[in-house]
Amino acid sequence: MSLRLVLVRHGETDWNRERRYQGQRDTPLSETGRAQAEAAGRLLAREQFQAVWSSPLRRARDTAAAIAAPKGLAVRVDEAFGEMRFGQWEGLTVDDVSARFPDLHRQWQGTPHLVAPPDAETLDEVRARTLKGLEGLRAAHDGQTVCLVTHGVTSRVLILEALGLGLDRIWSLHVSLTGITELEFRDDWAVVHRMNTLVHLDQLPQTR
């Protein structure tokens, strides 16, 4: 069984620019985010996707639509690929969280696999549902190439899985808005073919 997965993080939202924890909040793409999504769609137009999948959150769905539309594909949605639920941190800026939860925030930055924000998912829980979603993609698209549009944490979980690394390394990975990563999963191995490609953003102002 094999699957080639082209992984794309969604485009920018206003909350990304404001450095707010979004989690499960259904924030829309900003004007810049829409331009990023369209640029990703143009770059990926040459790819032979059999399907385009997305998180159910509209910032991901709208990014996926910009990639799927030129190919005449419908966007398929799976809740397994939604962003981590950040609980009480959702809607707060990074500075807000650092001020209100100083000890927990330091732990989250240093040992994120051992802690979770109040009322949030743990990274283990995010990993479990994300990998269950990956199993579903592999079963449904054996031997095919699929595009998946998702989020910062869920993207990192999938990349760590391909690299054979644990959740303690999650902040070792930089996953940019509309960054493109290509993974290949087989029964006995996985490989990263490209990582966080941003060439499609070269002509866009202030996108990084």
List, by residue number, the catalytic residues.
10, 83
CA pair distance 144, 185, nearest whole angstrom:
11
DSSP category for residue 16: H
Q: With beta carbons less than 8 A apart as the criterion, state whether 155 and 5 touch.
A: no
Kindly provide the b/e burial profile for residues 40-61, where b requires at least 16 CB atoms within 10 angstroms of the residue's own CB. bbebbeeeebebbbbbebbbbb
Q: With beta carbons less than 8 A apart as the criterion, state whether 8 and 148 touch.
A: yes
DSSP category for residue 119: T
Whole-number CA gyration radius for the chain: 16
